[in-house]
Structure formats: structure tokens, C-alpha cells
Structure 1
Amino acid sequence: MHLYKSTTFFCILVFLLSRQVNAQNSSSTGIMALDEIWTITESQNRQLKLSDLSRKEGLLSVLEARDKLLPELSVAGDAKLNSKFLIYDKGLFSSPEDVPVSGYGYSLGYSFNMNLFNGGRDRRNIRIKQEEDARRQYEYDLQKNNTKYAVAAAYYDLYKFLQFKDFILAEITSEKKQLSTIQNLHKNGVVLKSDVLRTSVKLSQLELNYSDVEKKIALDKQRLNMLMGRSEDIPLDIPYRDSISIKQIAGAGFGDYLSIALRESPQYKIVHSNIKLSELNVKQVEAARLPRFSAYSNYNYTYPQISFYPYSNDLWGFGQTGIKMQFPIDNLYKSRHSIARARVNTDQQKESALIKRDEISLQVKEAYLQLQQAAENVETAKKNMIQSSEAVRVIRNSYMNQESLLTDLLDAENMLLETKFNLTAALVNLKLNHLRLLAITGIL
């Protein structure tokens, strides 16, 4: 029994250690899929961090507006030196009467003021700040969508060039073997020296293309690291040998995507938020014509008493409590143009919303048609690759049997390599067009 427990404990320990080692190996290699890169980007991208700070600022502005509803309360006090208290009861140029008062003075008291009614401007200001906060959220969502699409574009650009690199590397390996075969045939007098030279030139061009692709891969990795908010020299690799899934791409029609866009698009939500803000602003300007009511209270202790007759060198207290009303009569005619301008701004925002609707409809239509065209390009590229592969097989056999020229073989091989490039590029373009459509509709 003791041996069984020891064996079980040992197996569990080995299992946990192996999982930890595998996790370390996975993180050290830096292999990340698109979803994982998106997750890191959402938390580390600098533009998104800036937009998130703007969201926090909007929330604080709402709380600040709510603070305006609280009553005003202040405590004040002072200490002072008093001059002589002279009363000119017979005129300025007569001898004054010197009223005996203290040579110093002080006061201490409080002041309280609470708004009862001001046309609803304070509460409406809170609604304005809340709508501004909602608009900041829409702007953040728009920035997030755009950033995710930029990450996807860089990711699939890297995917494409890594595929190209493998294609070129395989072609270089195959071409070296073919060059060796042609050199042997040339030694035996079967083919001409020009065939060897042509093959060597093609091999040099492939090696140059390989170097160019490696540079583009390094640039795309740096771009992805920057979008993730990481240092540009951190190792990064993606599972580029996995095929691109296109099963989920064929789905809804144009009408479905347009309905989603008009419901979920952050761009469309922003213009509707602008309409709400302009309508609130109209009511805010109109409220300037209404009277304002407030409750107030104040009380002060003052020394000496020189505010009311008879004067006294004693400490005295005095306060008031009541309700105050202010009616700005001048605003009845001064605010006419301000109200008219606010209403014009509302009309402008409504027209902007209609324009934005047309723009979104056009963007969705364009992206949808590009998606359909990309799907057709994929099918054409698949057919071309099958035909090119068969052409290379046939021409290579006929060349070895001295039934065709080397130029025909080289052209066929170049065409096959190009069709591989085209198929990969078409698949990447199809995926990116689908993601762009999702970004426009606001559901990426």
C-alpha cells in the first residue's frame, strides 16, 4: 500500500512538471494565434489605453456633474484693524464726530445655499455628461475594432510571407537538385551549357526573393509587437502552417450585414449620440429663460458692532434664512439667437446621421462585394494550382526525355510557384475581407 501511494505521488509530480515544462517551452517559442494576440492587444495597445483613459475621464465628469446637486456650504472668518470711526454729520468739510470703536475687529460665520429650481439645468447637465460618456464608449469600441483589424492585417500579412518563405525554400531545394541533374546531363553532352546557366540564374533569383521575404517577415513581426504594446525585439511566431479556416465566411447576405451595422456600428452610434447631445443642449439653452429658486441661510458673529446704529464695542450675531428667486428678464430677448443656433446644430446632426447611414451602407456593400470577389479568386487560384502542378509534371518528364526545352520547364515551374503565391494571397485576402466586413458592422 505504501508503495502504491509513492508511485501515485511520483506520477502526479512528473505530470505537473511536464505540463510546466511544456508551458515554458510554448511561451519561450512565442507562438501565438490571432485570438491570443487580440487579447494582449486589448489590454496593452497604447491607442486603446489612451481611449480607455478617455472613458475614465468621462465617468469622472458624470460624478463631477452630480456633485453640483449638493448644496453649497462655507465657513468664513477674518481679523482686521479698524481706523477711526468718523461721522460727518454736518458735511464733509465740517469737523467730524469721532465715534469710539475698537481698534481691531474679527468675524466668524457660515453661508449655506441650496438650489431648488433652475430650469433643470443641473440634472440635464448630468444627462449630457452621461451621453458624452456613452459616446466615449462608442469611440473606444470603434478604436478597438480598427485596432483589431489592423492586428489581423499584420497577422495575415506575416502568415502570407511565412508561407511564401516555405514555398521559396522548397523551390530552392528542388532547383538545387534539378541544377545538379542538369549539370550531370551537360557533362554527358545531353544538354547545352545554356541550360545550366539558365537554371543557375533562376536559383540566384529565388535566393534574392527569399532574402526579400525574410525582411518583410521581420517588419511584420515588429508591427505586431508594437500593436500589442510590446518591445519590438521580443520573439514572435504564429502557427502559419495551419490552413486558413473559411467555413464561417459564407454566411449572411448584404441585408443582414447592413441591419447589423445599423444596430451595432460604433460609427452610427456616435452620430446618434451627437443628436441626443444637441437636443439636450437646446433644452439647456431654453432653460436660461426660466426663473431660479434657491434656499439660503447665513449667520455671522462680528466684533465690534458697527453695522447698525447704535454702535457698540460688543460682540454681536446676526443671520438670515429664506428663499431667493432670480428671474433674468434680459434672457427673454438675449437668448433668442442662442436657441436658434442650438436648433440649427440639432438639424445638422440629424443630417449627419443620414449621411453616415448612407456611408455605412456603401461601406457594407463594398466590403460584401469584395468578399464575394475574394471567394471567387480563391476558387480560381485552386484550379490554377492544380493545372500548373500537372503542367510541371508533364513538362519535366518531357524535358528529361529531350522532348521539350528547359525554358518551357522553367516557365512552368515559375508559374506553379506563382499559383502557390496567388492561392495563399487569395485565402488571406478572403479572410481579411471578412474581418473588414465584421469591423464595419461593429461585431469584430
Structure 2
Amino acid sequence: MQEDFLHFLWKHKKINVTNLSSTKGETIIVSNVGEHNFNSGPDFFNAKIKIGEQLWAGNVEIHLKSSDWFLHNHETDKAYDNVILHVVWEDDTEVFRKDNTPIPTLQLKDIVDKPLLNNYEKLFSKKSKWINCENEFSTIDSFITSNWLERLYFERLEYKSETIKTLLTESKNDWEAVLFKMLTKNFGLKVNGESFLSLANSIDFSIIRKTQSNQRLLEALLFGQSGMLEQDIEDAYYSNLVKEYAFLKQKFNLQNSQVLAMQFFRLRPPNFPTIRLSQLASLYNKHQNVFSKIITSNKREDFYELFNVSTSEFWKTHYTFQKESKETTKILSKAFVDLLLINTILPLKFCYAKQKGEEVDSDIIKLASVIASEKNSIINAFNKLKKVSKSALHSQALIQLKTEYCDKNRCLKCAIGNQLLKQ
């Protein structure tokens, strides 16, 4: 039994509120259960309850056992002086106010409907389940699932907005600088994401602005800060980068001691950090104001056009500095741009609109709904239970569901868990 379940019972009146009585036999009539408090203090504020012949306005505290009142030291906390009703699963001791009058207690264990209790116990029974409701997940009405996933998607955008807000503060509200850091991290994908972010953090964005009109100079900056220009390689392109970087390093007093090493191991050649950094340089060389173009674009095709960039000439015949390869034009694929949309562009558009007080939810839903669902272990596992992930909106929502609800046993806060309890 979780205390959250008792909160659920009280908040949603999942008990027979028409025939309640305290452990002392006083009639209890609940006019208002109060406002659920998720911070410190009593569990519900400003409830209105008639106990016996007296109408009370005050707070409600909920525990599994009455004795938890003393276990949590509420008797010494002034915040609990205005508790008018103590709601418990089991009443095992009497609790008193400071004036020595007993606090009325409502015991729940004998008044909860058996089917509801059975559903709760079934949902939370631990039998090596991937998620608590894996046996029932496929039975949930698609309308409920769809609405819940949409809410979860925006919850995930809110979650990602916290990182954006931190970056915004660090950059003194420079949205272009924030975008550069986020894009750089996502150009590194999962393997090199943190390394690419450390690279972006080592360069003030004003330096990017001063060098982006010259792609060779911008590549020298990125490769130099990444630590890739410290080898002894005989090649004209490489030698020029070394010279350009030496000039930039002195001019801007650059430091790269905090930049994490880039990884090549177990990466497909198109994802090598050398290729991704050259493509990133091409993007910023081609477009002077990437952020403004992102904010004004709402169609996926617009973003495919914006990110239609390749590497510089050298990288058409190379994947590394040392070895020449067959010539290929290494453009950003549409699948890669979709990842940028999911992880960078949509969260940024959402956060920017929210800060400006603008409404873009429908545009974001429309864009997220036409991007293919991601494929990973979480999405695959949900789809085995029921084919539910059909777009990036769904896959992002399912990641939020698994990490923030299923893994934390927050079934009582989940629309799916609530539906299963009602059955």
C-alpha cells in the first residue's frame, strides 16, 4: 500500500462520501476535499468538512497509519496546527491537537470498494514486470492513450525546456548561442554528444559569428578546439588548419583543456566526428542567422532545405585526416535532420514561444506528428504490448511515460493507471 493511493482515493472521492463517519462515530460530510499540496506541509489545503454538527475549514493530512503522525514529527510542526481531519488507512493510535483535543480520524480500510482495491493490488503486484500494467496495456481505449501521450509529449518539452533555460541564462539570453550549443551536442549523437557539447562550451558564440563567413577558418576553430589538430600529419589541408587554428587560438585566447575526447570506435564512418564537425561548419557558413530561420519555419520540408548541407571539399574523399577514401558527397540525411527536429528544434521552438507568450502548440503537434517514430528499446517494448508509437510525438511521449511514471511507480498520476483502477 502506498500513501499516494490514499491521496488518490481522497482527491477523487473514490470512497462512499455519502455515509462517512469518524473512528469516534461522528458523521463526516465532505463539501470540498481541498487543494492537493505537493510541497511541505499538510497534504490537502483549504478543505471544507462537516464533522458532527460543526462545519470546519482547514487542512487534511493523510497517512497509512495514525502513528505516522508522530513518526513524521507533525506534533512539533506548526504547519499542522490547522489539520481538521486525519485520513488514514489504519487507525492505530489517537492524535491530539496542542489544546489536547483529539483530531477526528477517518479510517479507509473498511470503506474502499473491493474491486478498486483489487485493481490497485493487481496493478502494483511485483512479478518481474517491465511496467506495472504490461498485461493490461493493450486493453486501454485508444482515445485515452492518444490524449495521454499528447499531454506527455508537452510534459517532455517542459522537461527539456529546463535545460534550455539554463543555457539561456549562461549565454545572457542569446538564443543563437543556445541553439549552437544544442545543435553541436546533437551533431555528436549519443556517442559524442557530451564531447561535442564540451566543445561548444569552450567557444564563445561571438567567435563563431566572427569566423562563420569563412568555412576553412570555422573548421580550423572546431577541429582545433576538439584536439584533432595535434597530430603530425603531412597534408596541405591539415597544415593550413593547424596554422589557422594557431592564429585563432592566440587572437581569442582559446582554451580546450575541458573539451572531452571525440570517439570514433563503433561508429559508422558517416557519423565520425570529423564529418559531423565539417557539416556543422558548413551549416553556419551557409546560414548567418540559423535561429531566426528555425523560428519562422513550420514545415518539415523547410527544415530539410535549411539543413541541406554537406562537408567541405577535403571530406568528400576522407573520413579521417590520415586516410583517403572513395569520393562521396556527405550531406545531412533526412533521418538525421529528423533527430535534430526531435531533440533540438521542437524543444527550442516550444521554449521560445512560451517565453514570448505565443501559442504554437498546434504547429508543434503537426510537425512532431509527421516525423517517424524513434526506434529504441523503450519504444520497441511498448510496441510489443500494443502498436502505439506511430510518430515522434508518440515516441517522445512514451520515453516520458517510462522514465517519469512507470519507472517511478507513479501509476496513480497516469491516465492509463487511473483507467485500470476504474475497471
TM tier relative to shorter chain: under 0.3
Larger radius of gyration: 1
TM-score (norm 2): 0.18
Structure number with the bigger relative contact order (C-alpha 8 A, sep ≥ 6) is 1
TM-score (norm 1): 0.17
Structure with more helix by fraction: 1
